[in-house]
Amino acid sequence: MTRRFGWYFIFAVLAAVFGIVGVSACDGGGSDDDVDELPADDDVDDDDDGLPENPTWENFAENFFQTYCVRCHQDPPINDAEFPLETYEDVLPQLTDIKLQAVVSDEMPADDEGPLPSDAEREKLGEWIDAGAPEN
């Protein structure tokens, strides 16, 4: 066991040495441009779902309704929907029902012929509503 470990260790050291030499040999001038630094964006959650940590109408909800709801809940509504969900003012009076229909259950969208929100997006909508549906 110790012996095997020793060989792996030597191999790892050699690989590291040659790896470093190899990289610096190809680097030719050492430009930092090929290091892609991600922009520090406080609006983006650490959990990598790409959704804002503190959802607002402007950074999240408007886009959610546009993407998943407005193809029926437009102004005037079509496909038997009964109210529009296009503007912040449209959405506010419906928050309780929206939470029931699109967060607690997946009743809405009413069909599956268009894009459907992911579980993470539904949860984020719930967080937005629970936070008092801030506009910005």
**58/56 Cα distance (integer angstroms):** 5
Distance of CA 96 to the CA centre of its chain: 24
**What is the pattern of x (binds ligand HEC, CB under 6 A) and - over residues 33-52?**
--------------------
Give whole-number Cα distances, 58 to 2, 43, 50, 72, 134, in Å. Answer: 60, 12, 15, 21, 9
- For residues 61 and 69, is the Cβ–Cβ distance under 8 A? no
The residue range among 7-15, 53-61, 73-81, 128-136 that interacts with ligand HEC, by the rule CB under 6 A, is 73-81
Can you tell me which residue has the tokens 């928050």?
Answer: 95
Closer CB to ligand HEC, residue 51 or residue 98?
98
Binders of ligand HEC in range 93-112 (CB under 6 A): 94, 97-98, 101-102, 108-111
Contacts with ligand HEC by CB under 6 A: the residue count is 20
**51/87 Cα distance (integer angstroms):** 20
The nearest distance, CB 98 to ligand HEC, in angstroms, is 4
Q: Which residues would be at the binding site for ligand HEC (CB under 6 A)?
A: 68-69, 71-73, 79-82, 85, 94, 97-98, 101-102, 108-111, 114
